[in-house]
Amino acid sequence: SQTIHQWPATLVQPVGSPLSLECTVEGTSNPNLYWYRQAAGRGLQLLFYSVGIGQISSEVPQNLSASRPQDRQFILSSKKLLLSDSGFYLCAWRTRQLNTEAFFGQGTRLTVV
Amino acid sequence: QKEVEQNSGPLSVPEGAIASLNCTYSDRGSQSFFWYRQYSGKSPELIMSIYSNGDKEDGRFTAQLNKASQYVSLLIRDSQPSDSATYLCAVSRDTGRRALTFGSGTRLQVQP
């Protein structure tokens, strides 16, 4: 069966510090991968998506970047965090097949102080 | 206009009642439709998916899709206090990025 791992679960970082969040998927190959952010009491905002190794598309201009160094690994990064980067970050995957669902990792609660 | 709209609630129903959650979407090219449940501080959990017009039932849950009206709904029968959560409606195309676009969610409270 497929599983998705995302870590860390919580993170408190000072303004101006770097960020690296990692997500890995098991049990499937060549998935579409996504990073979402959820602000408190809000819906999920798509940040990045990837359809293959090294292929990253950004949905919103921001202080973050993403990379996909391996087929089932997706990394979210920042060189210098801002207070506005605080939120709940979620990695998700979806197969290429039609009529399939997206599944989420456990999420990372990031607080920038 | 938001791409996916939901009433934020809270929707309060007594235990054992039917909870009705609604969602409208703006992209007529949407082909896949989902309901996720999210408990406070947790990641979204898939409840139902629906891909064609009509009703789809799974246990106490029924999803309804009307593409002509761009409307999706979720019915929860015999609501339980454990159903208290935020319910997120999501839609996607099945081409290109295939990313899900989410509504802001409806908070459901089931009163014991």
Chain B 44-103, residues with CB within 8 Å of chain A CB atoms: 44-46, 49, 51, 88, 90, 92, 94, 97-103
Mean pLDDT (chain A) is 93
Which amino acid, B86?
T
Residue that the structure tokens 């929860």 belong to: B76
Looking at residue A62, what is its pLDDT?
79
B54 exposure class (CB count in 10 Å sphere: 0-12, 13-18, 19+): exposed
Looking at residue A106, what is its pLDDT?
96
**Residue B42 in this model has a pLDDT that exceeds 80:** yes
Looking at residue A25, what is its pLDDT?
96
Please write the tens of the pLDDT for every residue from A13-27: 999 999 999 999 999
DSSP string, A30-45: S-EEEEEEE-TTS-EE
Does A99 sit within 8 Å of B94, measured CB to CB? yes
A84 SS3 class: helix
Residue to test with chain A: of B43, B65, B89, B102, most A Cβ within 10 A: B43
Q: How far apart are CA B106 and CA B85, in angstroms?
A: 8
Which residues in chain B have Cβ-Cβ distances shorter than 8 Å to A90?
43-44
Looking at residue A97, what is its pLDDT?
85
**Residue A59 in this model has a pLDDT that exceeds 90:** no
> What confidence tier does B1 reach under pLDDT thresholds 50, 70, 90?
low
Does A109 sit within 8 Å of B43, measured CB to CB? no
Which residues in chain A have Cβ-Cβ distances shorter than 8 Å to B94?
98-99
Looking at residue B66, what is its pLDDT?
97
Q: Among A58-67, A85-94, A98-107, B69-78, which stretch is predicted with the lowest mean pLDDT?
A: A58-67
Please write the tens of the pLDDT for every residue from B45-66: 999 999 999 999 999 999 999 9
DSSP symbol at B60: T
Does A109 sit within 8 Å of B100, measured CB to CB? no
Shortest Cα distance from A55 to chain B (angstroms)? 11
DSSP symbol at B18: P
CB B73 within 8 A of CB B21: yes
Partner residue opposite B97 with nearest CB, options A42, A57, A98: A57
Please write the tens of the pLDDT for every residue from A79-110: 999 999 999 999 999 998 888 899 999 999 99
> What confidence tier does B97 reach under pLDDT thresholds 50, 70, 90?
confident
Does B103 sit within 8 Å of A43, measured CB to CB? yes
Average pLDDT over residues B14-39: 96
CB B11 within 8 A of CB B21: yes
**Residue A61 in this model has a pLDDT that exceeds 80:** no
Which amino acid, B68?
A
* Cis, bond preceding B10 (omega within 30 deg of 0): yes
